[in-house]
Structure 1
Amino acid sequence: MKCIILAAGYATRLYPLTKNKAKPLLEVAGKPILNHIIEKVEKVDIIDEVYIVTNEKFTPSFQDWSANYQGDKEIIVVNDHTTTNDNRLGAIADIQYVLEQHKIDEDTMILAGDNLFDFELVDFVHFFQEVNADSITTHELDDTDEMKRTGIAEVNEDGLVISFEEKPKKPKSNLAVPPFYLYKAETLSLFKQYLAAGNNPDAPGNFIPWLIQQKQVYAFRFKGLRYDIGTIESYNKVQELF
């Protein structure tokens, strides 16, 4: 299994903190957000390579980070060669860029580089292996305003995703979908198909409503919280919590 960590954004909402520092490299509780994520990835034995996709501006920072990495996974920093927020590829186009450049043809975990979470990725992988199908993560939210700011899924009693909407005005359920996904090897070619059809290349959740029209996708429901660091306020809140 491979792992792709999405880290190619410019995090303009966090300026000035991220003007010269990539958001995943901001520190929370004394270490970069990326370290918190990698510690969870390290527990998944079947992942042998981790691809961190970033932009031209922050490639040297991630290369420095990987040079100091002490873990047992091979880290590959991928430069998508974008230079500003205006010419960024978007997360889904970045995924396709990594798949194409590195000819990935194995089951793949995809994680946002700016979210912290309580659950273990090992449990997510076990679920994925049991259902033997593409899988997303979900957790319950009780705040309607929060629901409107994230992806929301409807799931049937078998755990099958029956609908998905990114940032819905009227959420159909309280199941939030953070940007943590597991895709079967045979699904990877669909990213190219999705983009070729002119679909939105940005937020990785946009792929899900399209994908559930093509094949079955299951939802792994986790307990605990996840923390999306998108604004100065959310960053300060996470600092306090951790």
Structure 2
Amino acid sequence: MKGVILAAGVGTRLAPITNTRSKPAVPVANKPLIEHIIGSLKGAGIVDIVIIVNTSGELEKLLGDGSRLGVKLQYAVQEEQLGTAHAISLVKEMVTEPFILVNGDHLVPLSVVNELVEKFNGTATITLLKADDLSALSTCELDGNKVLKIVEKPKPGEELSPYASIGTYAFSPELFDYIDKVEKSPRGEYELPSAMDLMLQAGKEMTWVETGQFQHLAYPWDMLSETVVFLDEMEESREGTVEDGAVLKGKVSIGKGTVIKSGAYIEGPVLIGEDCTIGPNCFIRAYTTLGNKCRVGNAVEIKNSVIFDGTNIPHLSYIGDSVIGENVNFGAGTVLANFRLDKQNIKMEVKGKLVDTERKKLGAIVGDNTKFGSNVVVNPGRKIGANCNIWPGTVVIKDLDDGEEHK
């Protein structure tokens, strides 16, 4: 079988993290999301993979021909975002055998791919998840292990079952015959569920398998949830140097060239990349990941946060439940607050709408290359764009766009 990954999307809801990278390139547990997906396909014996990309060239540069990952990669470029069915149509000449199709915007466990390969019926087998809210997903009418009908994004009361498609499928090349017949949806796109429904109308058998494992990267705070899944399953590896007087409890993985100095206290599970300097006298709490070449200094506390490569938190700072981009610098005394005094859920503005994160604790989402002066306080749930300058002694109470200067 071949693999096909839909990776042409940008992921605007993940801003500001995706203001400087596409969603498939967002690091999860110190590795781009798409590399995790490729790893699951490879683990199931699928090493011939086609990736549908946008025109940026970003993923081609990141992944190359796939030899670094032990796979063979080809690319198809979707020049205009016209929907998933349109994207799949671009690989028709490249895929002439059964294939696993994966959306490039969520984690796909190896167990899910293995089950799809094992239970593929030769025509179409899809993965379903029992979900409470189907409004943003595809609902399916079922009869035993067979799918009878698919409806995209049902209105309340129109759900066909409590099960939703999660964007991982096994198809024969026969799918392309129905892809070619798809008409534009009311949203102005050519959508894969429409092609699947045409298959069903033509009497083609479609089966399904259930999964309880699904981590969708839709909003910035989803990165925190995905990190929990990875760190719970992480195998510990300590390749760096740990000085006497440092305390490491639970699973703590340390990359090559990293130094954990005396007085550092780390409560796992925690993942620390290569060439980092940690301590002295800092506190890193569970479910934190630090990328490569990060610095965490004296009297710094970090809790349940995702921190990308090259970020510098040198002294007297608190980072709670936050996502921090690459090469961010924190001045002394910076506090990213993560809890409302009224104990209400934290809400975050996404594409002009206020979204309930369903989290009592959520700090800041900070884009790449932003600089904080000393004694800055950021209110819970704020988004700060890339390349911002935050002046000393200020309080950030509203979101900041890329390049903004906050005085």
Q: TM-score range by the shorter chain?
A: 0.7 to 0.9
1:224 counterpart SS class: coil
- Alignment pair present for 1:121 and 2:113: yes
Higher helix share: 1
For residues 42 and 66 of structure 2, what CA distance do their matches in structure 1 show? 15
TM-score, scaled to structure 2? 0.51
Which ranges in structure 1 are unaligned for 5 or more consecutive residues?
A: 83-87
Contact 1:3 1:110 in 2 (8 A): yes
2:172 and 2:74 map into 1 onto residues whose CA distance is 21
Letter in 2 for 1:39: G
Q: Aligned partners of 1:61, 1:134: CA distance in 2, in Å?
A: 28
In structure 2, the gaps of 5 or more residues are: 231-407
**When the two structures are superposed, what TM-score results if normalisation uses the length of structure 1?**
0.83
Moved more, 19-28 or 112-121: 112-121
CA distance in 2, matches of 1:202, 1:116: 24
In structure 1, the partner of 2:8 is 8
1:1-242 to 2 correspondence within 5 Å?
A: 1-45=1-45, 47-57=46-56, 59-66=57-64, 69-82=67-80, 88-100=81-93, 102=94, 104-118=95-109, 119-128=111-120, 131-141=121-131, 143=132, 146-157=133-144, 159-169=145-155, 170=157, 171-194=159-182, 197-198=183-184, 201-242=189-230
TM superposition shift of 1:218 = 2.7
Deviation at 1:203, TM superposition (A): 4.5
Quick check: 1:161–1:218 contact (8 Å CA) kept in 2?
A: yes
> Identity over aligned residues, as a percent?
23
**Deviation at residue 48 of structure 1 after TM alignment:** 4.2
Larger Rg: 2
Structure with the larger RCO, 1 or 2 (CA within 8 Å, 6+ apart)? 1
Partner of 2:385: none
Task: Provide the C-alpha distance between the structure 1 equivalents of 2:90 and 2:202, rounded to a whole number of angstroms.
Answer: 22
Q: Which residue is equivalent to 1:85?
A: none
> Which structure shows the bigger proportion of residues in strand conformation?
2
Give every structure 1 segment of 4 or more consecutive aligned residues whose post-TM-superposition deviation is greater than 6 Å. none
Give the direction of change, closer, same or farther, for the CA distance of 1:68–1:109 in structure 2 (3 Å limit).
Answer: closer
Query: What is the DSSP-based 3-state SS (H/G/I as helix, E as strand, rest coil) of the residue aligned with 2:19?
Result: coil
Distance 1:113 1:90, change over 3 A: same
Report the alpha carbon displacement of residue 117 of structure 1 after superposing the two structures with TM. 3.4
Which amino acid in structure 1 is aligned with residue 52 of structure 2? V
Root-mean-square deviation (CA), in Å? 2.1
2:82 maps to amino acid: L
The answer to whether the Cα contact below 8 Å between 1:109 and 1:183 also exists between their aligned partners in 2 is yes
